Amino acid sequence: MSEILDDELNSALVAPEREFLGEKLAPYTEGSRLLLAQIRDDNDSPAYFVWSLLFVHLRLYKDRKATIKLCWDKEAFREELFQWISERTDKQRSDGTELVGSILEAASAGRIEVVRPPTESALGKA
């Protein structure tokens, strides 16, 4: 399962380099979305989602394997997240919310590549 998750984490939905608090974020990918779903709860607030997304992507950039393992232990994840949040300010929350909004907006922007059917001449029919 780890190899599958690694492949998903490498398949970026949004790959421009982004930073938060002067630290690089890993790209937002289908794999990182899976990790966020793993640590999520229906009762979570929007602020929890914002902090979680930033925390996960900061950690993924530094140590993917440890982050994946942490996300599979929801209680340990929440403990580390809440410790990290306790050191944040209202301004950082506001900046983080803006950043997460731009990440999700970029990820949801449709990218369509038109593939035209081959013409008869291209098929050798004339």
107 or 51: whose pLDDT is higher? 51
Return all residues near 11 (Cβ < 8 A) that are at least 6 apart: 29, 30, 31
Q: Could you give the percent of the chain with pLDDT greater than 90?
A: 64
Contact yes or no for 67/56 (Cβ under 8 A)? yes
> What is the pairing mode between strands 28-29 and 12-14?
antiparallel
Q: Which residue has the higher pLDDT, 50 or 108?
A: 50
**Is pLDDT of 102 > 70?**
yes
Other Cβ atoms closer than 10 A to 107:
15
Tokens for 24? 């690089």
Reported pTM: 0.75
Which whole number is the average pLDDT over 63-75?
96
Tokens of 45: 């607030």
